[in-house]
């Protein structure tokens, strides 16, 4: 066999890959024998040994060893396997079939190659017959057949186009400021992807933390490959049939995002850096006097004493507790940055205690690793060591006592200014749960274990409150610990365009809580670019503006009065939609299905969705088509199957079709899926400013039916986990000549303060003859509705809209609208 051109041995990686220059790629040969040990099938093809098992229904696992022994089974990502899956084996002449539930592995015996089939025996995926599973020294690679109609999504944080067909990518968390649409790898790597066609889809999670490569047909248009420079070839094959089924199974394996505090869904303001205290207070008060809603303000690295983590610069911030308390009284939550590098300084308590705890990384010979970051020469905690994580967690006690509510972990790729490849030396040893392995294996999980230590520490210090942690670097499963942002982008339209495929692929890679630096980090956006970016921010789970140290002020009021008004209304839109957004977060935290999804995720049967990286779905009922071009006042939108109401005009379109719609500067085009009920509220200056006096439920019927839900809890504690939550589920149907709306109060013991429900029913062509709620005939109001209170209905003929207001009784309520 000819030696394949291998994508892995690149540049400085020669330094970290231990492959000898003279080694040859070898591929797995013929199956010599097989055996079954409990629910695992062992395949011998000396010197290779493969193990096949099932981690859950529709989730097969394949492992390779070429050394005669397997590495200890210790994943940082996988937290749940159900190995009790029943396996059947059929031994044929040419094939060995391993069957479990809906998945069949057909193993070709000579040479040993694996193919996956669904329960109807449709081929889902198979090894390339020539190269199949190969290895070369410590490197491994799996080559798979790439059918013409298959498209690829996921892969974590990637700035390239939405569909990764024809693209090569690597996984190695990297600090790359001012990245472009071809920069790879970036900060956060998740080696999990989907293969999607019009008839089936599957997922592959390559759980390997070494420098990994994915070549999706760039080298050979009929073959794709994935592999790593070390560690085991160890992957999970996940059956669909739909992308959502794959993500649900992946979420079973790696866990879901915990519910964040509600305030973290509000607007957040950041820059490098707000200081001194006077400037922080000034920014906060500008938000309030200008009536621009905001929930959080960030302190970047200048709050610290010489960039020493867990300290304050006492001249810039003489009384942090007081400042944070005053800000809190105005509804601001204060978030601080914390980097991993700890300054080598014997007068610095964190350094001393880290030394005492033996918490820092060392070379194999015991010397401490030293690298330069902001504070100068630093040591770096070993977050793979449970003891060091506990130590790290305890360091937050001062900050939590001061009242800091959120923690922003940066530079955790890790980024080291003077390290080889701008990171930690590859020889450095990590505890790795007692396995004592080198940095090559631990690099990609460094950020993940850092945010784990942060989250667990803050949680231990403040057990009653959901932590908010934001990270730049992460790995598969890191959604359990932290939200993520996409690092140092620039203030350009290209960067705004990149924001979509980045956030969408990250979201469906299991990380739903994502966002970009609104306005761009580096440079200065025009008023138009900032306004458009902020509009997109309404529909990114994390809505945060940020600015680089050398860039001018970029707050929402910095672009003139007209833009200030536009930006205020944009942020207000976010706050109005918070009930819908919060409910969508809750769904994601249970199922793993993210708020932001590419169209192909929900409509894989329609090839027109495969490359749609300029619009997306948000929650169950919204399609967003942000304006991404300068000077545009209209844009083309592809609407997939179903009915779609233009949010701004209420025009109803029936998909699949393309439409061109108006998109004036102050409006982000978005559509409501016909058949949805969207919960919303009046805007506030910050979350929980006032108790909710009216919950709006806007009904967008599809043939007189609709359904939707509103989820609530106290927004901050863990009591929802023991039942203190409230779901209001709304079901609208036609019964004879009446429209019936049933409001179900399902499970949960949480009771919001007393309030009104305001049902707004769209698409009503005529005034009803009566509206009856729980047997009471409601009175009709004509003219402007009375302020706030009372039970009544009114009909607006110009808008084809019926409004019904009634008291929320937190039990099953029924509204009947008679007459067309």
Interacting residues toward ligand MIG by CB under 6 A: 272, 300-301, 337, 410-411, 472, 487-488, 546
> Is the CB of 292 or the CB of 299 nearer to ligand MIG?
299
* E strand residue ranges, 159-305: 168-171, 189-196, 201-206, 212-220, 223-228, 233-239, 267-269, 296-299
| Nearer of residues 244 and 299 to ligand MIG, judged by Cβ | 299
Under a CB-based contact definition with an 8 Å cutoff, are residues 404 and 335 in contact?
yes
Helix (H, G, I), strand (E, B) or coil at 270: coil
Give the integer Cα–Cα distance in Å for 594 and 584: 8
Least gap, CB of 794 to ligand MIG (angstroms): 49
State the number of CA atoms in the 13 A half-sphere of 773 facing the CB. 21
Give the shortest CB-422-to-ligand MIG separation in angstroms.
11
CB neighbour list of residue 627: distance below 8 Å, 6 or more residues apart:
532, 535, 635, 663, 668, 669
CB of 819 to ligand MIG, least distance (A): 57
Active site residue 157: no
DSSP string computed for 753-799: PS-EEEEEE----S--SEEEETTEEPEE--SSPPSS-S-EEEEETTT
Residue with tokens 């560690």: 231
Work out the angle at residue 151's Cα, subtended by the Cα atoms of residues 149 and 156, and round it to the nearest 5 degrees: 170
Tell how far CA 280 is from the center of its chain: 29
Provide long-range contacts, Cβ within 8 A and 24+ apart, for 282-285.
Answer: 283/555, 284/327, 284/330, 284/332, 285/330
Q: For residues 615 and 626, give the distance between their C-alpha atoms in angstroms, rounded to a whole number.
A: 7
The span from the CA of 11 to the CA of 93, in Å, is 45
In DSSP terms, which residues pair with 305 in a beta bridge? 308
CA dihedral 545, 263, 304, 178 (to 10 degrees): -30
What are the tokens at 19? 């492959």
Give the sheet arrangement for strand 468-471, strand by strand: 514-515, 483-485, 468-471, 406-409, 333-338, 296-299, 267-269, 543-545, 517-518
Q: Which two tokens stand for residue 352?
A: 């001393």
Nearer to ligand MIG, 135 or 272 (CB): 272
Q: Which is nearer to ligand MIG, 487 or 594 (CB)?
A: 487
Helix (H) or strand (E) holding 386, with range, is helix 386-394
SS3 70: coil
Kindly tell me which of 165 and 546 has the beta carbon lying closer to ligand MIG: 546
Of 133 and 411, CB closest to ligand MIG: 411
3-state secondary structure of 673: strand
Q: Identify which of residues 484 and 692 has a Cβ nearer to ligand MIG in the complex.
A: 484
By 3-state DSSP, what share of the chain in percent is helix, strand and coil, each rounded to 5?
A: 20, 35, 45
What residue is closest to ligand MIG based on CB? 272
* Known active-site residue 808: no
Minimum distance from residue 272 beta carbon to ligand MIG (Å)? 4
**Closer to ligand MIG by Cβ: residue 410 or 684:** 410
Cβ 416 to ligand MIG shortest distance, Å = 11
**Dihedral angle of Cα 527, 517, 597, 728, to the nearest 10 degrees:** -90
- Nearest distance, CB of residue 339 and ligand MIG, angstroms: 7
- Considering the complex, state which of residue 308 and residue 546 has its C-beta at the smaller distance from ligand MIG: 546
Closest approach of ligand MIG to the CB of residue 711, in Å: 31
CB of 411 to ligand MIG, least distance (A): 6
* Minimum distance from residue 88 beta carbon to ligand MIG (Å): 51
Nearer to ligand MIG among residue 238 and residue 270 (C-beta) = 270
219 counts as catalytic: no
Query: Measured in whole angstroms, how far is the alpha carbon of residue 611 from the centre of its chain?
Result: 20
Measure the CA–CA gap between 772 and 738, rounded to whole angstroms: 10
Whether the Cβ atoms of residue 416 and residue 376 lie closer than 8 Å to each other: no
Q: Closest separation between CB of residue 528 and ligand MIG, Å?
A: 23
Asked if 281 contacts 348 with a C-beta cutoff of 8 angstroms, the reply is: no
What does the alpha-carbon distance between residue 651 and residue 354 come to, in Å, rounded to a whole number? 62
Residues 6+ apart with CB under 8 A from 163: 151, 152, 153, 600, 610, 611, 613
> In angstroms, what CA-CA distances link 647 with 101, 653, 667?
44, 11, 10
Question: Catalytic: which of 150, 295, 300, 413?
Answer: 413
**Residue in 313, 382, 488, 564 annotated catalytic:** 488
User: Token digits for 696?
Assistant: 């709006």
Minimum distance, C-beta of residue 549 to ligand MIG, in the bound complex (Å): 7
| From 127, 128, 163, 410, active-site residue | 410
Give 301 or 476: the residue with its C-beta nearer to ligand MIG.
301
CA dihedral 491, 492, 496, 502 (to 10 degrees): -80
Note whether 515 and 198 are within 8 A (CB): no
Cis peptide before 123 (omega within 30 of 0): no
Residues 646 and 674: beta-carbon distance below 8 Å? no
Residue number with CB closer to ligand MIG (410 or 564): 410
Nearer to ligand MIG, 156 or 579 (CB): 156
Least distance CB 718 / ligand MIG (angstroms): 29
CB 569 within 8 A of CB 224: no
Q: Which residues are catalytic?
A: 410, 413, 488
């Amino acid at each position: 066999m000819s030696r394949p051109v291998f994508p892995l041995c690149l540049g400085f990686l020669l330094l970290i890959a231990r492959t000898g220059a003279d080694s040859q790629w070898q591929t797995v040969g013929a199956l010599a024998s097989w055996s079954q040990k409990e629910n695992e099938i062992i395949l011998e093809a000396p010197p290779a040994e493969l193990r096949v098992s099932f981690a859950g229904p529709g989730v097969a696992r394949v492992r390779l060893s070429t050394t005669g022994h397997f590495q200890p089974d210790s994943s940082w990502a996988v937290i749940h396997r159900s190995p009790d899956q029943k396996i059947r084996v059929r031994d044929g002449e040419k094939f060995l079939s391993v069957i479990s539930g809906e998945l069949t592995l057909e193993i070709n015996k000579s040479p040993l190659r694996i193919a996956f089939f669904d329960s109807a025996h449709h081929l889902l995926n198979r090894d390339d017959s020539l190269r199949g599973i190969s290895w070369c020294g410590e490197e491994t690679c799996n080559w798979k057949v790439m059918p013409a109609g298959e498209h690829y999504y996921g892969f974590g944080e990637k700035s390239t186009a939405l569909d990764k067909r024809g693209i090569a990518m690597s996984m190695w968390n990297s600090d790359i400021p001012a990245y472009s649409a071809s920069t790879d790898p970036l900060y956060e790597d998740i080696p999990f992807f989907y293969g999607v066609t019009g008839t089936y889809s599957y997922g592959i999670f390559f759980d390997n933390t070494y420098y990994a490569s994915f070549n999706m047909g760039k080298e050979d248009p009929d073959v794709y490959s994935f592999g790593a420079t070390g560690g085991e070839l160890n992957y999970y094959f996940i059956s669909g049939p739909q992308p959502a089924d794959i993500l649900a199974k992946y979420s079973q394996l790696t866990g879901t995002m915990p519910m964040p505090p509600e305030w973290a869904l509000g607007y957040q303001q950041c820059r490098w850096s707000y200081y001194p205290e006077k400037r922080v207070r000034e920014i906060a008060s500008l938000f309030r006097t200008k009536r621009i809603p905001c929930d959080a303000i960030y302190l970047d690295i200048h709050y610290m004493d010489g960039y020493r983590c867990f300290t304050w610069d006492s001249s810039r911030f003489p009384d942090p507790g007081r400042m944070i308390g005053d800000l809190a009284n105005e509804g601001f939550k204060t978030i601080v940055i914390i980097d991993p590098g700890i300054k080598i300084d014997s007068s610095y308590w964190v350094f001393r205690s880290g030394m005492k705890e033996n918490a820092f990384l060392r070379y194999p010979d015991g010397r401490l690793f030293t690298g330069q970051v902001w504070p100068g020469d630093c040591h770096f905690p070993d977050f793979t060591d449970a003891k060091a994580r506990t130590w790290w967690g305890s360091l937050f006690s001062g900050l939590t006592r001061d009242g800091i509510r959120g923690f922003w972990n940066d530079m955790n790729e890790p980024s080291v200014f003077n390290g080889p490849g701008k990171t930690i030396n590859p020889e450095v040893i990590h505890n790795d749960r007692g396995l004592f392995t080198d940095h090559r294996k631990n690099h990609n999980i460094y950020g993940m274990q850092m945010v784990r230590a942060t989250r667990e520490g803050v949680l231990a210090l403040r057990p009653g409150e959901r932590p908010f942690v934001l990270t730049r670097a992460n790995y598969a499963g890191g959604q359990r610990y932290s939200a993520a942002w996409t690092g140092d982008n620039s203030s350009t339209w290209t960067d705004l365009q990149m924001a979509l495929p980045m956030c969408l692929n990250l979201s469906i890679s299991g990380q739903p809580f994502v966002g970009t630096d609104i306005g761009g980090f580096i440079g200065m956006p025009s008023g138009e670019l900032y306004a458009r970016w902020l509009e997109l921010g309404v529909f990114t789970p994390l809505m945060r503006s940020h600015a680089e140290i050398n860039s001018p002020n970029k707050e929402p009021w910095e672009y003139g009065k007209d833009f200030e008004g536009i930006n205020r209304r944009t942020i207000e839109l976010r706050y109005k939609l918070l009930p819908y957004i919060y409910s969508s977060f809750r769904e994601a935290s249970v199922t793993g299905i993210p708020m932001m999804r590419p169209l192909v995720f929900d409509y894989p049967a329609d090839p027109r969705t495969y490359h749609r990286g300029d619009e997306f779905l948000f929650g169950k009922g919204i399609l967003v088509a942000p304006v991404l071009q300068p000077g545009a006042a209209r844009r083309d939108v592809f609407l997939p199957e179903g009915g779609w109401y233009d949010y701004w005009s209420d025009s109803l379109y029936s998909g699949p079709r393309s439409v061109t719609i108006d998109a004036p500067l102050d409006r982000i085009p978005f559509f409501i899926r016909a058949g949805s009920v969207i919960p919303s509220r009046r805007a506030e200056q910050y979350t929980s400013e006032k108790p909710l006096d009216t919950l709006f439920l806007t009904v967008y019927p599809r043939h007189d039916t609709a359904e939707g839900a509103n989820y609530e809890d106290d927004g901050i504690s863990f009591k929802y986990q023991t039942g203190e939550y409230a779901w209001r589920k709304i079901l609208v149907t036609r019964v004879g000549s009446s429209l019936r709306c049933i409001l179900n109060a399902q499970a949960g013991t949480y009771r919001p303060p007393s309030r009104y429900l305001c049902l707004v029913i769209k698409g009503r062509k005529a005034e009803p003859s009566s509206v009856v709620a729980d047997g009471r005939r409601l009175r009709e109001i004509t003219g402007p509705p009375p302020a706030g209170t009372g039970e009544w209905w009114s009909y607006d003929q110009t808008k084809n809209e019926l409004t019904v207001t009634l008291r929320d009784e937190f039990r099953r309520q029924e509204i009947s609208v008679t007459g067309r």
